[in-house]
Amino acid sequence: MIGMVESNVNMKKVRSESTWYLTWLRFKRNKLALVGLGIIIVIVLIAIFAPVLTPYSPDEQHLKDRLQPPSSKYLFGTDEFGRDLFSRVLYGSRTALLVGIVVVAISATIGVTLGLISGYFGGWVDEIIMRTVDIVWSFPALILALAIVVILGPGLINAMIAIALVGWASYARVVRAETLSVKEELFVEAARSIGESDLRILVSYIFPNVLSSILVLITYNIPSAIITASSLSFLGLGAQPPSPDWGLTIATARRYLTLAPWYSIFPGVAIMLTVLGFNFVGDGLRDAVQPERVG
Amino acid sequence: MGVILKIEDLYVDFKTERGLVKAIDGVTLEVKEGEVLALIGETGCGKSTISKAIMRLLPKNATVRGKIIYKGKNLLELPESEMRKIRGKEIGMIFQDPLTSLNPVFTVSNQMEEMFKIHKLPTRKSIFEEIVNLLKIVRIPDAESRAKSYPFELSGGMRQRVMVAMMLSSNPSLLIADEPTTALDVTIQAQIMNLMLELKRNFNTTILLITHNPGVVAEIADRVAVMYAGQIVEVAPVKEVFDNPLHPYTRSLMRALPKGHKTERELENILGRVPNLLTPPPGCRFHPRCPFADERCTGGKPEIKEVEPGHFVACYKVGGTRNE
């Protein structure tokens, strides 16, 4: 009797998580994706616990120890003001993640909304939205972001807005394409046949069914946003000193490249690892979510 | 018996890249309260188009003319907001493919809840309990945990039961079942059909059954309307259609059925092919395949007439083709 109850409970547990649980099972089989996930978790933890993990404040200057090579005192060495690079690189993860999250939040909200509307209603609305997407896409992302930042003025927040204003287009296009196929599904017609409104069909029937593609896109979008933001910072249009932003750090380090190569290497490696982690997860997620709609 | 749905002179055209497809050509049909009317015809003859026209769910490239009068109101003239109140509440619909007619990301109870929310259905207990109760009525075993399942965890028959249960929740006066059993295997077909018959008996639901399966028709229909290439050619009580078909098309169709006798003769087929609806033949659309056709049939479309009590036929030749 007890055994029966237990097995029942187990069954329910599996059932209630179904779609996402199955996706997780497929994701888990991909070793590279797990490595990526591990990297992301570590970076998130570093960003959260930076004050605990760092020996110095990122802005603390040790003017006697300028441009020191890595040592037990300064794990990644120091910069031209004698600031501990280890502390700065760790703190820099906060800026990177902030950029990733804010940019994705803005561009996904704009892009997904427009994509759903475009795909579902079609006609001239679709035409206007898609031609705008074409225009956005006809510029190299960095150049367009650069132009927008120049208009808005330099600074991290403006850089994030600029990147988001460029990034929404890919969401719009992917979501529109998915919407076009999902809206032909019988369950959408069935929803209409029980009297659902267009808005409700979009929100509860189409959106959840395109969500997996959006998630994949987000995991690819985060690292590209981080790279673009770093590039803008590198060009002096993003984060401003004394921010420990990785791009900005590399820009400053360029002047000391022959004198203190570690100065640019460590933030560079940090960017690379972060981007790699998200891309591995993106690949794994893309492979894991695909076969989901099959009965 | 009153008339619950009256289709008058319905035309549906589809604009396509290759031209205008005249899918429905002047259909007039009455559905009486409490009956099971089977709409039968081969694939592509416009059965589903009629059902979608009733629900106003045709794609944008369709133009509809005529009248569809449901309980005195012309559905084709209702504003969309009024139409939404009719869909699901007054007129329910069950689809051919239960495998894809449920939202894959909703659990069964989420999905059924929608009906309660859209139409603000009264509940005696909690909505979830009502749902479990409905699932029990359609004989889904272990209803509580099934209510929490996702569609892909259920078999096709089970999913079709969920659809039926969903319809039960609002108890519509008219149920349009568009090939509800085509995608199911034979034993499950019978169960679903019985379920629908129970519905009809217990709630006096009128059923418009769309099918190309004469076996299903013989089992549950009261009356049959036979369609050919977008036109209704014959309407009669079910027994009449099988025993005394009058329209040449219906007769060929019946002769093409396996009877299940031991002395089965070779099945006949109907010569020729279904006309292309881009350029339908003038007059009676069956005339190119009809052994009795003459110049009258190519001239104008024959009107549907009551040739015997309750037996309507659209053919100039009826009477002359009675002797088999």
Average of pLDDT values for A77-96?
Answer: 92
Domain that holds residue A95: 19-293
Q: How many CB atoms lie within 10 A of CB A189?
A: 18
Q: What is the pLDDT of residue B264?
A: 58
Question: Percentage of chain B with pLDDT > 70?
Answer: 95
Q: Nearest C-alpha of chain A: how many angstroms from B101?
A: 4
Nearest to A193 among B93, B102, B152 (CB): B93
Q: Which residue has the higher pLDDT, A119 or B189?
A: A119
Percent of chain B surpassing pLDDT 90: 28
Indicate yes or no: CB of A295 within 8 angstroms of CB of B114: no
Is position B201 within any domain? no
Q: Are residues B74 and B139 in the same domain?
A: no
Domain at A102, CATH number: 1.10.3720.10
* B190 within a domain of the structure (yes/no): no
Measure in Å the smallest separation between the Cα of B243 and chain A Cα atoms: 36
- Domain total of chain B: 2
With respect to residue B289, please indicate whether it lies within any of the assigned structural domains.
Answer: yes
Contact A208 B145 (CB under 8 A): no
CA atoms within 13 A on the CB side of B30: 12
Q: Do residues B100 and B86 share a domain?
A: no
Q: Indicate if B149 and B297 belong to the same structural domain.
A: no
Interatomic CA distance for residues B236 and B254, integer angstroms: 14
With CB atoms and an 8 Å threshold, state whether B104 touches A187: yes
Q: In Å, how far from its chain's centre is CA B232?
A: 13
Question: Residue A264 in contact with residue A255, Cβ under 8 Å?
Answer: no
- Domain total for chain A? 1
The last residue of one of the domains, among B118, B145, B171, is B171
A13 or A114, higher pLDDT: A114
Range of the domain at B40: 1-90+175-180+207-248+266-324
Cβ–Cβ under 8 Å, residues B36 and B220: yes
Weakest-pLDDT range from A9-13, A198-202, B162-166, B168-172? A9-13
Q: What is the structure's pLDDT at A1?
A: 38
d(CA B137, CA B116): 17
Average pLDDT, chain A: 88
Q: What does each C-alpha distance from B20 to B16, B41, B276, B277, B278 come to in angstroms?
A: 6, 22, 11, 8, 6
Residue A196 forms contact with B (CB below 8 Å): yes
Is A7 inside any structural domain? no
Q: What is the pLDDT of residue B270?
A: 77
Decide if B210 contacts B39 (C-beta within 8 A). yes
Nearest to B101 by CA among B152, B145, B142, B147: B152
Tokens of B298: 């190519």
Q: Do A195 and B106 lie within an 8 Å CB cutoff?
A: no
Q: Work out the average pLDDT over A4-15.
A: 44
Residue with tokens 């460590």: A266
Q: Tell if the CB–CB gap between B92 and A293 is shorter than 8 Å.
A: no
Mean pLDDT for the stretch of residues A71-81: 88
Q: Is residue A3 part of a domain?
A: no
What is the rounded distance in angstroms from the CA atom of residue A134 to the CA atom of residue A173? 9
A208 touches chain B (CB under 8 A): yes
Q: How far apart are CA B194 and CA B144, in angstroms?
A: 23
pLDDT-based confidence at residue A33 (cuts at 50, 70, 90) = very high
Residues of chain B contacting residue A19, judged by C-beta atoms under 8 Å apart:
104-105, 150
pLDDT at B265: 63
Across all residues in chain B, what is the average pLDDT? 86
Q: CA A159, A162, A167, A168 torsion: positive or negative? A: positive
Tens digits of residue pLDDT in A146-164: 999 999 999 999 999 999 9
Q: Looking at the structure, do residues B316 and B217 belong to the same domain, yes or no? A: yes
pLDDT digits over B88-134, tens only? 999 999 888 888 888 888 889 998 999 898 888 888 888 899 899 88
Kindly report the nearest CA distance between residue A194 and chain B, in angstroms.
Answer: 4
Co-location of B214 and B75 in the same domain: yes
DSSP A160-177: HHHHHHHHHHHHHHHHHH
- Asked if residue B226 and residue B304 are part of one domain, the reply reads yes
Chain B residues whose beta carbon lies within 8 Å of the beta carbon of residue A201: none
Sign of CA dihedral A224, A225, A230, A233: positive
Q: What residue of B is the nearest CA neighbor of A11?
A: B145
pLDDT at A40: 95
Closest residue of A to B101, CA-based? Answer: A187
Contact A194 B88 (CB under 8 A): yes
CB B70 within 8 A of CB B91: yes
**Confidence category of residue A7, pLDDT binned at 50, 70, 90:** very low
Q: Residue A3 above 60 pLDDT?
A: no
Q: Are residues B68 and B47 in the same domain?
A: yes
pLDDT of residue B79 exceeding 90 = yes
In the numeric block, which tokens belong to residue B227? Answer: 């369609």
Question: What pLDDT was estimated at residue A288?
Answer: 85
Which H helix or E strand runs over B289? none
- Predicted local distance difference test score (pLDDT) of residue B234: 92
CATH of the domain at B21: 3.40.50.300
Contact A19 B97 (CB under 8 A): no
Q: At what angle do helices A85-121 and A156-182 cross, to 10 degrees?
A: 40
Q: Which chain B residues touch A208 with a CB distance below 8 Å?
A: 103, 105-106
Kindly state the DSSP code that residue B120 receives in the 8-state scheme.
T
Nearest residue, CB atoms, A209 vs list B92, B97, B104: B104
Q: Which residues pair with B237 in a beta bridge?
A: B223
Tokens representing A110 are 């704009």
Q: What is the mean pLDDT of residues B290-303?
A: 83
What's the pTM? Answer: 0.81
Residue A204 near chain B (CB below 8 Å): yes
Residues of A in contact with B151 (CB under 8 A): 295
| Residues B12 and B62 placed together within one structural domain of the fold | yes
Cβ distance B106 to A15 less than 8 Å, yes or no, reads no
Average pLDDT of the segment spanning B180-186? 80
Residue A184 lies in a domain: yes
Which of the four pLDDT bands, split at 50, 70 and 90, describes residue A290?
low
| Neighboring chain B residues of A122 at a CB cutoff of 8 Å | 60
**Same structural domain, B273 and B148:** no
Give chain A positions within 8 Å (CB) of B153.
15, 18
Question: Residue A10: pLDDT above 60?
Answer: no
Residue B1 pLDDT > 70, yes or no?
Answer: no
Same domain, B126 and B161: yes
Flag whether B258 is in a domain. Answer: no
Clarify whether residues B242 and B300 are in a common domain: yes
- Looking at chain B, the number of H-run helices and the number of E-run strands are 11, 12
> Is A191 part of the contact surface with chain B (CB cutoff 8 Å)?
yes
B256-260: long-range pairs with CB below 8 Å, 24+ = B257/B214
Does A131 contact chain B (CB < 8 Å)? no
On whether residue A14 sits in a domain, the answer given is no
Quick check: is B255 in a domain? no
A192–B contact, CB cutoff 8 A: yes
- Quick: pLDDT tens for A225-275: 999 999 999 999 988 888 899 999 999 999 998 888 889 999 999 999 999
Query: Residue B95 is nearest to which of A186, A205, A292, comparing CB atoms?
Result: A186
Quickly state the pLDDT bin for B262 (edges 50, 70, 90): low
Contacts of B272 (CB under 8 A, 6+ apart): B288, B289
CA distance B224 to B230: 16
The side-by-side arrangement of strands in the sheet containing B73-74 is B19-32, B3-16, B62-70, B73-74
Task: Look at A1-15, A112-126, B253-267, B277-291 and tell me which has the smallest mean pLDDT.
Answer: A1-15
DSSP-derived pairing of the beta strands B62-70 and B223-228: unpaired
- For residue A2, pLDDT beyond 60: no
Q: What's the one-letter identity of residue A240?
A: Q
Inside any domain, residue A1: no
Give residue-wise pLDDT tens across range A129-148.
999 999 999 988 889 999 99
- A5 within domain boundaries: no
Tally A–B CB contacts below 8 A.
88
* pLDDT greater than 90 at residue B180: no
- B37 lies in the same domain as B75: yes
**Beta B305-308 vs B206-211: how paired, if at all?**
unpaired
Q: Which residues of B touch A196 (CB under 8 A)?
A: 84, 114, 118
Decide if B256 is inside a domain. Answer: no
Interface test with B, best of A120, A180, A194 (most B CBs within 10 A): A194
| Subunit contact A191:B92, Cβ cutoff 8 A | no
